[in-house]
Amino acid sequence: MIPQVRSRSSIRSRAFAVTTAALLSTIAACGDDGINNSTPQPPRGIIVLDGFIQPGLTFLGDTGSASTKLTLAPTTEFDAGGFTLLRDTVLAVSSRGAGDLLYVTDVRTSTTRRIQLPTRSNPSRARLLSGTGGQTLIGAALRDSSSVALLSFAGAGTVTSTRISNVGTCPTDLFQFDNATWIVDANANCKVNYAVQGDVRLIRVPNTGTTRDTILLPGLRGSGASALVDGDVAYISAGGDASFASFPYTLISTGGITKVDLRGKRVLTAKRMPANTYGAGVKLGLDGFLYVTLYQDLASFTNRIIKVRPADLSFVTSASADWLVLTGATGTAVTCGSGQADALGRLHCIQNGTGSVTSLLVFSPTGTEVRRVPANQGGVDMAIRP
């Protein structure tokens, strides 16, 4: 999930702040929610995260131009560059610079609960986990604490918190699988300057016992690493390594995706993003393909979206480029970020125009614009709610 470009200085700060979604990160609709429909149906709606100016969620239908805005927070306490959606719950976090906060939104009722996370823990991403006894359980990766917070509560009741400690240098994401919590360690100096220290790691922490497993992901680098889980396979992505000390910025290594067999605890295959690109925010389309959002380069910061086959991580290319070639309603080329396809293969993405006014764009399977609708202002991420 990549926010739309506002300025080079904004890109630099977001790249360092890494809400990967900041440069991707992230993700978004994880798990298999809505993936296994036997008969493809159009989505029930789209959610857009307005990350700056007027932070909040914009809810859009699959047709028409009507929208509903839910304000989340003032700009002084909100810097999320992405969110996660599972069924009817949206989770977003603010980093240490904006108060170390977690926002839990019930999409059905458009209500949000604001939860304080440990001070200066610098949360990266939150995930809805499987609770017990009617409790909601949320995990939040705390970059500056080398830990994961597990938050449990019922309704509006008191939140109880526990920790999984010593889970890497900079934990940025997590998920549950087979009686264990798996943590993505970006292996970067997130406390100071987000400088990459080495390859991304996947750490398995069992629910019982003390034996942990660490899976090294060779060649995968980036301080905004994230996970997307589908069945017993995880796709771990990271945006790459770059220096933003001065302009022109310097690309050290491109981003990539690594496919991991969770049962076998082994790497299946890996794919690097095209030369000169930066970012690798991965979404699972409802058509079964992966959609990767990245920047074409570190000079123009042009948004591009690549369609990827999950089986072998090969690109679905056009005749002229690795990324999707998208055409506007007037026949001109257009670009957008944070892309995800619905079950009919229609790509949905967002674009920020003058004054950061956001539009949701929808393209046919052949890449022609079929819909453009206002989505408020300051959009940084979107997801389809099936």
Break the chain into its structural domains and give their ranges.
8-28+71-316
The predicted structure's pLDDT at residue 354: 95
Would you state the structure tokens that stand for residue 386, as one six-digit string?
Answer: 């099936």
The predicted structure's pLDDT at residue 210: 87
- Round to whole Å and give the CA distance between 262 and 213: 11
- Round to whole Å and give the CA distance between 281 and 273: 11
- Round to whole Å and give the CA distance between 240 and 223: 8
- Round to whole Å and give the CA distance between 259 and 268: 5
The predicted structure's pLDDT at residue 43: 60
CA neighbours closer than 13 Å in the CB half-sphere of residue 323: 24
- Phi (first) and psi of residue 314, to 5 degrees: -80, 150
3-state DSSP helix/strand/coil % of the chain, to nearest 5: 5, 50, 45
Q: What is the residue-wise DSSP string for 230-272?
A: ETTEEEEEEEEEEE-SSSSPEEEEEEEEEEEETTTTEEEEEEE
Closest CA to 146 of 175, 186, 195: 186
The residue assigned the tokens 């890494």 is: 18
- Round to whole Å and give the CA distance between 143 and 80: 14
Amino acid at 229: V
Q: Are 188 and 223 a contacting pair, CB within 8 Å?
A: yes
The predicted structure's pLDDT at residue 5: 34
In angstroms, the Cα distances linking 55 to 50, 76, 97, 267 are 5, 10, 15, 38
Closest CA to 129 of 114, 140, 121, 118: 140
User: Do the strands 226-230 and 233-243 form a parallel or antiparallel pair, or are they unpaired?
Assistant: antiparallel
Would you state the structure tokens that stand for residue 272, as one six-digit string?
Answer: 């690097």
The 10 Å Cβ neighbour count of residue 372 is: 16
The predicted structure's pLDDT at residue 318: 84
Q: Which CATH number is 8-28+71-316 given?
A: 2.120.10.30
**Residue 5 DSSP label:** P
| This prediction's pTM | 0.89
Q: What is the pLDDT along the chain (386 residues), one digit of tens a residue?
A: 333 333 333 443 333 333 333 333 333 333 333 233 334 545 679 999 999 998 999 999 999 999 999 999 998 899 999 999 998 999 999 999 999 999 999 998 999 999 999 999 999 999 999 988 889 999 999 999 999 999 999 988 999 999 999 999 999 999 999 999 999 999 999 999 999 999 999 999 999 888 999 999 999 999 999 999 999 999 999 999 999 999 999 999 999 999 999 999 999 999 999 999 999 999 999 999 999 999 999 999 999 999 999 999 999 998 889 999 999 999 999 999 999 999 999 999 999 999 999 999 999 999 999 999 999 999 999 999 98
The 10 Å Cβ neighbour count of residue 242 is: 23
The predicted structure's pLDDT at residue 42: 56
SS3 251: strand
Amino acid at 61: G
The predicted structure's pLDDT at residue 40: 52
Q: Are 46 and 302 a contacting pair, CB within 8 Å?
A: no
Would you state the structure tokens that stand for residue 51, as one six-digit string?
Answer: 């990350």
The predicted structure's pLDDT at residue 386: 83
The predicted structure's pLDDT at residue 209: 82
Peptide bond into 248 cis (omega under 30): yes
The predicted structure's pLDDT at residue 156: 86
Would you state the structure tokens that stand for residue 9, as one six-digit string?
Answer: 């200085």
